[in-house]
Structure 1
Amino acid sequence: MTLGQKIKELRESNGMFQRQLASILEIGDGFLSKVESDQKPLKREHLKTISETFNCSFSELEALWIGSKVYDIVKDEKEGLNALKVAEKQMKYEKK
């Protein structure tokens, strides 16, 4: 699941229109539409507002946000998947 998909799911399951959430986030509803379809990135500071609005995990939203950023970096790279594996090993090594 992408961040955009998660935001759309949260919004719809709470019976909220895009224009309502866009107003809460102080962004345009057209921009929110693009966020939900993963065409535009959302600012990190919006995650807290979304978490509070829908009473959901900030950590989950942040992980999806970071994942989107990482994906944007490696998606067109021939060795993108291998680079992710290397990064995962480095993360595990750093946590020891």
Structure 2
Amino acid sequence: MLFGNRIRELRDKQGVLQRQLAALLEIDTPMFSKIERGDRRAKREHVIKLAEYLHQDVKEMLTLWLADKVLDAVGVEEEISYDAITVAQKHVQSSIKDYSTF
């Protein structure tokens, strides 16, 4: 719920209502509330719109959004979760190196 918490924090700090951000994303307010609580995942394009509207770094917001997806997939209670993330990290780093040679 890293992304949802950050959105709520920014929204409160900037005095923006949930219904305003829901309108920006063209969704209803209850759906936005679920995104903010972590009960639903925002779409990638929603993350980008929210970052821009709330004057945040898009990469940082996408990172929080993706981290939530990773945590959903691996869980946080199993010991093997850390190992799985480490293996995935090595694969991503390898892929980045391969891609950068083009």
Relative to its length, the structure with more helix (as a share) is 2
Cα offset for 1:27? 0.9
Q: Which amino acid aligns with 1:88?
A: Q
Structure 2: gaps of 5 or more residues: 98-102
Cross-structure match for 1:81: 82
Give % identity.
38
Cα offset for 1:93? 3.8
Root mean square deviation of aligned Cα: 1.9
Alignment of 1:16 onto 2:16: yes
Q: Give the TM-score, by structure 1 length.
A: 0.87
Cross-structure match for 1:91: 92
Q: Which 4+ stretches in 1 moved above 6 angstroms?
A: none
Instruction: Measure the CA separation in 1 of the matches of 2:28 and 2:83.
Output: 38
Instruction: Measure the CA separation in 2 of the matches of 1:11 and 1:41.
Output: 17
Q: Give the TM-score, by structure 2 length.
A: 0.82
Structure 1: gaps of 5 or more residues: none
